[in-house]
Homo-oligomer: A and B are copies of this chain.
Amino acid sequence: MAQQRDPLDRFYSVIPAGGIGSRLWPLSRADAPKFLHDLTGSGSTLLRATWDRLTPLSGAHRIMVVTGRAHRAAVEEQLPELEDHNVVLESEPKESSAAIGLAAAILRRREPEVIIGSFAADHVITDVRGFRRAVGEAVAAADAGYIATIGITPTEPAIGFGYIRCDGTLGIDGAPSATKADTFKEKPELSVAKKYVADGNYLWNAGMFISRADLLLEQLGKSQPDLLAGLEELAEAWDTPRRGAVVDAVWPRLPKIAIDYTVAEPTAAEGRMAVVPGDFDWNDVGDFAAIGKLHARGRASDLAILGEGARVLADASSGVVVSQTGRLISLVGVKDIVVVDTPDALLVTTSANAQRVKSVVDALKLSGRSDIL
């Protein structure tokens, strides 16, 4: 299956820019999802930073973005280099199997031997060199006939991530550190997470998948033949005038399911999943505690302040403040606090409770307050 030319020449980046990031409410909203925010204080949105991380790998001409219709304008504003043929708009959210599968199906028709790599639009990686090294190995593994993923070396027994158990080295040319992915593990309990970290053979599942598009679709079709058929129907019409009509007919009935279940787990069970250890920093910025960690960089007592023109007066306080209103925010003696000040909603919680923010969003949904979501 190996090609003569550099497999990176056949590489295409796919950025699914979907999830709202409910645990970052009220900062992240339906109309201002997580990937459109600068959560690191770098001056770039997460989407833009993702783009900038991928252009050296695939070139700006070979990055496809899959996003909701509602976010088209914002995405194009963030990514002026994004080419029209690389924009895939979802009429409604359908989870990662449909989003990445559609990109794979479209790109495969355009370029049968394409290798795609999908990377979330809302994760943070600062060690760009380490990231590129790992992607390079993953592309080599994909070229060798594997579906590859990049597993992050755990730095703590996190319970917010899934884990990948690694088996023996695969000995792939150009991918010396790639090992076989044995099993994918759901988010564990703390005691289990501690065992994983102590064991040394478990990596965090960062949701990065690198594969020949045809292999990915083949694997997807094994577990979800109807989904694959729908995606192929869409892809066939995509670069034709029929696109709109077919999208309206097909997309709404596609199942919502994560690619971990439809592709990654079954492929691992077949022994065709490779994992490249990602020995770089990675943060999925899943909640406000993660934002605090990003900013604190180890200094636990610090206060992270996000928001242009934020005015914060803090006395013996630490945690995270997000300011969108320009109001004066005063903190007195509050430790590990999370304050998110937006024009129509205020959140006050603590780092330890950051994962529970989703419960507020759920309560608002139930009470019909979608205007504020």
CB of A128 within 8 A of chain B? no
Docked-complex contact A364 and B313, CB < 8 angstroms: yes
Docked-complex contact A333 and B356, CB < 8 angstroms: yes
Instruction: Tell whether A337 pairs with B348 under 8 Å between CB atoms, given A315-B359, A315-B360, A356-B315.
Output: yes
Docked-complex contact A333 and B360, CB < 8 angstroms: no
* Interface-located stretch among A49-57, A62-70, A142-150, A339-347: A339-347
Docked-complex contact B327 and A350, CB < 8 angstroms: no
The number of chain A residues with a CB under 8 A from chain B is 33
CB proximity of A368 to chain B, nearest CB, Å: 13
Closest-by-CB residue of B relative to A353 is B333
Docked-complex contact A327 and B345, CB < 8 angstroms: yes
Chain A positions 212 through 248: 1 when the CB is less than 8 Å from some CB of chain B, otherwise 0? 0000000000000000000000000000000000000
CB of A332 within 8 A of chain B? yes
Docked-complex contact A360 and B348, CB < 8 angstroms: no
Find chain B residues with CB under 8 A from A339 CB: 346, 348
Chain A positions 329 through 373: 1 when the CB is less than 8 Å from some CB of chain B, otherwise 0? 111111001010101111111101100110110011000010010
Supply 6 A–B pairs (Cβ within 8 Å), ascending by A.
Answer: A313-B364, A315-B359, A316-B353, A328-B344, A332-B360, A334-B350
Not counting A332-B347, A334-B350, a sample of 5 additional A-B residue pairs whose C-beta atoms are within 8 angstroms of each other reads: A315-B360, A316-B353, A328-B345, A331-B347, A334-B337
